[in-house]
Amino acid sequence: MSGDSSRVPEELDAAMRRALNDNPSPTPIEVLEAAERLLERVLSGECENRSSALDLLTVDALMTQALEIAAGDPKLLADFPELAMRRIAAR
């Protein structure tokens, strides 16, 4: 693998943009909600097949993005990580 190792693979980037309805500046809550919707879809279907792998990776990437955005806001930093984990674990 050459180049920038932090670069998001094109297919994952496209899946994340679709999940966020191409919102260029989502809030942490909007990203969390996108992850929840996608996880719900995966869990309601056959999540054991190979085609759900990209969806699961997208959920993980969205959760990471939500936490990264929240980390930049001192008002969210204290409570958002716990909120996000509680909400995603409730699925």
Q: What is the mean pLDDT of the chain?
A: 89
Asked whether the predicted pLDDT for residue 17 surpasses 50, the reply is: yes
Which two structure tokens, joined as six digits, stand for 83? 């909120």
Q: What single string gives the DSSP state of each residue in 1-51?
A: --S-TTSPPHHHHHHHHHHTTT-SS--HHHHHHHHHHHHHHHHHS-TTSGG
pTM: 0.86
Task: List pLDDT tens digits, range 44-77.
Answer: 876 667 778 999 999 999 999 999 999 999 989 8
- What is the pLDDT, as a whole number, of residue 56? 93
- What is the pLDDT, as a whole number, of residue 2? 42
Q: What would the mean pLDDT of 33-42 be, rounded to a whole number? A: 94
Which two structure tokens, joined as six digits, stand for 30? 């909007």
Q: What would the mean pLDDT of 17-38 be, rounded to a whole number? A: 97
**In sequence order, what are the residues at sequence separation of 6 or more whose Cβ sits closer than 8 angstroms to the Cβ of residue 58?**
12, 15, 16, 19, 35, 38
